[in-house]
Amino acid sequence: MNPENRDHYGFPKQNTQTPSKEEMLKINARIEKWRKMIPKIPQLMANNDSKLKSRLRKGIPEGIRMLIWPCLAEIDQMKIQAKRTYKELVESQEISPHDSQITLDVMRTFQTNDLIKMDTITSQSLFTVLRAISLTFQDMGYCQGLNYLAGSFLLLMNDELVYWHLYSLLTKYGCLDTYINPTNTLKYFYALDILVKQFLPDLHAKFTKFNIVPFYYAAEWFITLFSSILPMQIFLRVTDIFWHEHHKTTFRASLAILKIRKEEILTAKTMEQAITILKDQKFFNNYDPDKFIKIAMKDFIFSKKDLRKYYDQFAASQKK
C-alpha cells in the first residue's frame, strides 16, 4: 500500500483531519504543561492527584507520551526489582518451549500493518520481546494476546521499553494472574455483568434472552486490554488512563463499547448476530477518541470498592 495511505503507526489511514494552526498551538501548550509535571508524577500518583487524573483523561499529547508512560508504569522501579536485565535475556542461550507459538503469533499480529510484517525489524523485535517475557515469567511462559499488546507498544517505543512496560503490566498491575490462569478473569466477567445490569439494563435483558455472558464478548478485551480491538488512537487514550486508574479503566471502556453499540445489539435477532456486532473491529476506526473517552469516564461511575465487593461476591459464590 502507498505510504501516503498509512498513518505514522503503519495502519491504513482513517478519516482524520490535520490539526489547524490554532489546534497545534494548544497541543504544544499541553506538551509544555506535561513537561513541567514529569518530575512530580510519582508523588502525584501516590496522592491520587485530581489534576493528573484530569490530564490523563484528556489524553497525553503524542509528542510526549513516551516520556510520561515510563513514569506512570514505574519502569525504573521495575528494573530495580527484576532479577535479570533485558540485555541478559536477549543474549541468553536458553531454549524457550514457546518459540514456535510466538513465531506463529508474530505472523498473525496486525496483518494490515506495514511495520509489523514478517521479516521486518519490528516483527523481529516483537519476537525478541515476547521470548524475553516467556523466559522471565516461566510459570506463565507465553500467553496468546500478549502479542497485540507488545505489537502496539512497539509502534511507540523500542523493544527494551516494550519489555519493561509489559513487565509492569504483569507485576504491578496484576495481569500475570490472568495469563497464568485464564479462569481468574471470571471474577472480572462477574463484575462486568453486574455493571451492565446497573448501567445498561435493556442491553442486559437482551443478553439474558440470548444467554450471552460477558465471557463470550469481553474475554479478548480483558486479555489484550483492547489492543486487538480498538484502533490505535483510542487504545492509546484508554492506556493513558489505565496506567493511573488500573482495571477500573478496563470496565469503563468495556461499558463504553456496549453503550455505543447498544442500539444495533438491541435489534439483533439471534445470539450470533449480537456477538458479530460486538466483535466488529472496524466499527471504531473512524470513531472520535474524545467522544469514546467521555462516554467511558462520565457515564459509568463506580468505585474500586464496588469492584472489590463484586470480586468477593464471586469468590463466595464459588465456595457454595
Cell of 229: 480491538
Average pLDDT along the chain: 91
pLDDT digits 0-9 by tens, 190-203: 999 999 999 999 99
Identify the pLDDT of residue 291.
97
Residues 101-120 have a mean pLDDT of 80
Q: How many CB atoms lie within 10 A of CB 181?
A: 12
Distances (CA, A) of 305 to 56, 97, 239, 248, 310: 22, 40, 22, 10, 9
pLDDT digits 0-9 by tens, 112-155: 777 777 667 888 999 999 999 999 998 898 888 899 999 999 99
Distances (CA, A) of 261 to 40, 278, 287, 288: 39, 7, 12, 14
Identify the pLDDT of residue 141.
85
DSSP state of 12: B
What are residue 21's phi and psi, to 5 degrees?
-60, -40
With cut-offs at 50, 70 and 90, classify the pLDDT of residue 24.
confident
Q: Is the pLDDT of residue 12 over 90?
A: no
pTM of the model: 0.92
How big is the chain, counted in residues?
320
Identify the pLDDT of residue 118.
64
Q: Is the pLDDT of residue 10 over 90?
A: no
Identify the pLDDT of residue 96.
83
Report the DSSP beta bridge partners of residue 12: 6
pLDDT digits 0-9 by tens, 284-295: 998 999 999 999
Cell of 102: 510466538
Identify the pLDDT of residue 112.
76
Q: How far, in whole angstroms, is CA 292 from its chain's centroid?
A: 14
Residues 251-259 have a mean pLDDT of 98
Q: How far, in whole angstroms, is CA 140 from its chain's centroid?
A: 19
SS3 6: strand
Which domains, from first to last, does the chain contain? 20-72 (no CATH), 78-172 (1.10.8.270), 181-319 (1.10.472.80)
How many angstroms separate the first and last alpha carbons of the chain?
A: 57
Q: Is the pLDDT of residue 2 over 60?
A: no
Provide, rounded to the nearest whole percent, the portion of the chain with pLDDT above 90.
71
pLDDT digits 0-9 by tens, 90-99: 998 888 889 8
SS3 160: helix
